[in-house]
Amino acid sequence: MPADRTILHVDMDAFFTSVEQRDRPELLGKPVVVGAPADKRGVVAAASYEARKYGVHSAMPSRTAYRLCPQAVFLRGDHAKYSRESERVMAILRQFTPLVEQVSVDEAYLDVTASLRLFGDGEQIAREIKRRIRETTGLTASVGIALNKFLAKLASDMRKPDGLMVITDADKLDLLRPLPIGRIAGIGKKTEPVFHEIGIHTIGDLQRFPIETLRVRFGVWADEMKARALGEDDRPVEPYGEAKSISNETTFEKDVSEMKTLERTVWELADEVGRRLRAEGVRARTVQLKLRWSDFTTLTRRTTLPEATDDEGQIAEVAIQLMRRELKEPRPVRLIGVGGQNLLRSPKQLDLLDRGSNRRDDLNRVADAVRARFGAKKLRRGGEL
């Protein structure tokens, strides 16, 4: 991977709530929360910067958010509207390079290395992107510029909201050194204490820590974390074409060992995977299960099916079989994931003798239509209950 790349990370500022505040001026300057109502079970999808001052953040239970900030305005949100705004933003980014990797509805990486002669250096491009987004959508974005994806995202995070930051190869180590270890993607609040136990509190500590000792504790993950601490990241910017895999995972607030709870979670994850497969018009030939134990070691198991599928029931059943093989004895599970791989776009060959299979396809299409109109939670499979 060339060392002189110019990578941008564009991140919309408090995207959902900013769209609502733009469209409803009476909300400007007020704490706004998009997600479940304050008196219902559910979580926060997004919080405005005014709400974040009270400790409200995404994925927090809405009831907790209300206790922290009872004066906040809670909105269900309009995800169709947010998707339309996202498409407008992504169209602006593609005016500067075809190498745009959209990683969520409100953020993307750009490789503008080949665009510098046309539009100027990375900082000039970033300022023009910010200007066009503001003029076109009335929203603000923060942009980080660096020679790789890790540093570019770090830069955009460090200058939010409405910020711009450049991290050069010359200053990356000094900038990284005092930052807490949690600033490295993949090291969260539950993982940080594991690093603290061996004396790693800052990225500088990790820069100096012997790689051999890290490998003993973290396995192959150690090399990736060490590289990030040194500001190294050779991942290319990959524009999404055909999806290579579709997966869904969740981390439990407390480790779970009860098989019924784990199986119910597999059904919920498979349900989302099946819907996304059908939305993409693809079927999975391989089902994958991911388990992470309480000590952070991670295991993946997969099975290749005789025929590709987009049926969440079949995906869940296969994933549960894989899980039962690994959990013959109860063991605390921290994270569980379900995915479909080896995706095929060719239509399924209809088996005229398998009327049940065709009925499942019809049922899935009807279920998708119901969920699209009334919400994903309005229709659940019996296995999830």
Domain count, the chain: 3
Specify the pLDDT at position 166.
Answer: 98
**Do 281 and 332 fall into the same domain?**
yes
Q: Pick from 169, 185, 201: which residue ends a domain?
A: 169
**Do 315 and 212 fall into the same domain?**
no
**Do 142 and 210 fall into the same domain?**
no
Characterize the bridge pairing of strands 44-47 and 245-256.
unpaired
Specify the pLDDT at position 121.
Answer: 96
State the Cα–Cα distance between residues 360 and 316, nearest whole angstrom: 14
Tell me the pLDDT tens digit for each residue of 323-339.
Answer: 999 998 889 999 999 99
**Do 249 and 373 fall into the same domain?**
yes
Range of the domain at 73: 1-169
Amino acid at 349: Q
**What CATH number is associated with residue 198?**
1.10.150.20
Q: Which residue has the higher pLDDT, 94 or 1?
A: 94
> Do residues 10 and 149 make contact, with C-beta atoms less than 8 angstroms apart?
no
Q: In the chain, pLDDT over 70 holds for what percent of residues?
A: 88
**Do 127 and 191 fall into the same domain?**
no
Mean pLDDT of 107-127: 96
**Do 134 and 152 fall into the same domain?**
yes
In a domain, 236, yes or no: no
**Do 309 and 363 fall into the same domain?**
yes
Q: Pick from 135, 169, 203: which residue ends a domain?
A: 169
Tell me the pLDDT tens digit for each residue of 64-111.
Answer: 999 999 999 999 888 889 989 999 999 999 999 999 998 888 999 999
In a domain, 143, yes or no: yes
Q: Name the token pair of 335.
A: 């994270």
State the Cα–Cα distance between residues 122 and 285, nearest whole angstrom: 41
**Do 206 and 138 fall into the same domain?**
no
Specify the pLDDT at position 351.
Answer: 40
State the Cα–Cα distance between residues 303 and 214, nearest whole angstrom: 31
**Do 148 and 44 fall into the same domain?**
yes
In this prediction the pTM is 0.66
Q: In the chain, pLDDT over 90 holds for what percent of residues?
A: 63
**Do 138 and 9 fall into the same domain?**
yes
State the Cα–Cα distance between residues 180 and 173, nearest whole angstrom: 13
**Do 22 and 152 fall into the same domain?**
yes
Mean pLDDT of 354-360: 48
Identify the active-site residue in 50, 85, 101, 107.
Answer: 107
In a domain, 234, yes or no: no
Specify the pLDDT at position 188.
Answer: 79
Tell me the pLDDT tens digit for each residue of 25-50.
Answer: 999 999 999 988 888 877 898 999 99
384: annotated active-site residue: no
**Do 21 and 102 fall into the same domain?**
yes
Specify the pLDDT at position 348.
Answer: 43
State the Cα–Cα distance between residues 20 and 73, nearest whole angstrom: 11
**79 half-sphere exposure, CB direction, 13 A CA radius:** 10
Q: Pick from 169, 184, 202: which residue ends a domain?
A: 169
In a domain, 111, yes or no: yes
